[in-house]
Amino acid sequence: MVCAVNKHLDARLLDPAGADELVRALQRRGFSVIAPAIEDDIVVLREYGPADTLPRGYSDTQDGGSYRLTRTGDDRLFAYAAAPQGFKRVLWPPRQTLYESRRTADRLEILPVTEEPKKLALFAARACEIDAIAILDGVFDNGDFADPGYWARRRDAFVVLVECGRSGDTCFCASMGTGPAREAGFDIALTEIFGNGPHRLLARAGSERGAEVLAEIAGRPATAGDADDRNRMLAEVAAAQARRMPADVAAILAANPEHARWNAVAERCLTCGNCTMVCPTCFCSTTEDSSSLDMSTATRARRWDSCFTIDYSYIHGGAVRASARSRYRQWISHKLSTWHEQFGRAGCVGCGRCITWCPVGIDIVEEANAIAASSA
């Protein structure tokens, strides 16, 4: 799949209806397609059903601690920005049973829970989201250990990228170098071009199977002019992002563990953990055991955990990070600084979800810039 980008197919143009055709082509190939839908004025990701069509004419306004769906008054397919919950929960569900054990008359039986490989298609993943999946891939296969549950869902996942035609109000992918354009990590990429010539989708294949599926969709060859329109649009999207992460944030945070700003943010931080739950790269989990009342069976399960809980840093004798200050500092420092030492890059993709979904609107970019501005 590496080096696939250039060889597969020249870019094609689809009518907007081609997006739904693409979903159905994937379904015909046996994929369970997880796609955006509108439920109760929210963009959700769910399995595309027989009666579904992709939502049209929706956008959103996002700010620290605020999200509202809006109508665009046109039939754009992808004018909304990052949805409340990304594809993380599809590939890495909040709860997974690891094994069950059963006590018999003379021994203890271990009953492993194996996950059958799934054929999932992740439809309309944005550039930041695909970057986040690339990060999770490295986390769940570090060369020594590959997580079987994650890879049962991930290995055959068909990825359809949608490049953003509009920057969300809390987005900062451009300064993280993760978007809005993307050239790899997908099977098919779509770029919606609207308001500049006819409403159309520029489609590119990123893999052989992507090229095969795309060949089934009615379309026509794209021109150099279409490619220019895409490049111009993506440059505008990037330029529209008001939030910018300082380029040297990793070094700045590492050099300022005692900065006064940590106290200020701790005054506001609820330690509720919402930022970690919505973060597309936060992967922490904990393991829980439960037993039946008659003690005949026991279950070991894994569930999402957050570094904002006290139990997270509990070791013999107490919690290492008891204060809100130390927990917030741990999270942002890991995401933006120590992640480099652990995984060779930043753990933040600039999707802005931690800003939007913080109930009190704490802004990771603002905090990083505040520390950078008065750095030791």
Give the range of 84-92, 197-205, 227-235, 252-260 binding other proteins by CB under 8 A.
Answer: 84-92
- DSSP-based three-state secondary structure for 122: strand
Is 300 near other proteins (CB under 8 A)?
no
Nearer to other proteins, 149 or 210 (CB): 149
Pairing of strands 120-125, 158-163: parallel
Q: Confirm or reject binding of residue 337 to other proteins (CB under 8 A).
A: no
**Closest to 13 in 3D by CA, of 231, 226, 232, 229:** 226
Residue range at the interface with other proteins (CB under 8 A); choices 50-58, 164-172, 215-223, 293-301: 293-301
Instruction: Name 260's Cβ contacts closer than 8 Å, sequence gap at least 6.
Output: none
Question: Is 38 a residue that touches other proteins (CB under 8 A)?
Answer: no
List 10, 41, 109, 341, residue binding other proteins (CB under 8 A): 41
Q: Give which of 278, 90, 309 is closest to 170, Cα–Cα.
A: 278
- Residue 20 CB: number of other CB atoms within 10 A? 16
Q: Under the criterion CB under 8 A, does residue 67 sit at the interface with other proteins?
A: yes
Of 224 and 315, nearer to other proteins (C-beta) is 315
Smallest gap from residue 168 Cβ to other proteins (A): 14
282 Cβ neighbours under 8 A, 6+ residues apart: 88, 275, 276, 306
Q: Is 175 exposed, middle or buried (0-12, 13-18, 19+ CB in 10 A)?
A: middle
Binding test (CB under 8 A) with other proteins, winner from 55, 84, 138, 148: 84
Structure tokens at 262: 């940590």
Rounded to an integer, what distance in angstroms lies between the CA atom of residue 115 and that of residue 126?
27
Contact code string over 194-233 relative to other proteins, x by CB under 8 A? ----------------------------------------
User: Minimal distance in Å, beta carbon 84 to other proteins?
Assistant: 5
Identify residue 108 by its one-letter amino acid code.
Answer: L
Q: Is 306 in the site for other proteins (CB under 8 A)?
A: yes
| Residue keyed to tokens 């379904």 | 27
**Three-class secondary structure of residue 145 per DSSP:** coil
113 binds other proteins per the rule CB under 8 A? no
> Which range in 34-42, 115-123, 170-178, 226-234 contacts other proteins by CB under 8 A?
34-42
Query: Per CB under 8 A, which of residues 255..284 are in contact with other proteins?
Result: 267-274, 277-278
First to last CA, the chain: 45
- Residue 93 tokens read as 């569900």
Span of 16-24, 37-45, 137-145, 146-154 interacting with other proteins by CB under 8 A: 37-45
What sections of 84-220 are H helices per DSSP? Answer: 88-91, 127-140, 148-154, 173-176, 208-215
- Count, residues near other proteins per rule CB under 8 A: 47
* Closer residue to other proteins (CB): 89 or 244: 89
Tokens of 201: 């989708």
CB of 191 to other proteins, least distance (A): 28
Residues that bind other proteins (CB under 8 A): 40-42, 44, 65-68, 84-85, 89, 94-95, 267-274, 277-278, 288-295, 298, 303-304, 306, 308-311, 322, 324, 356-361
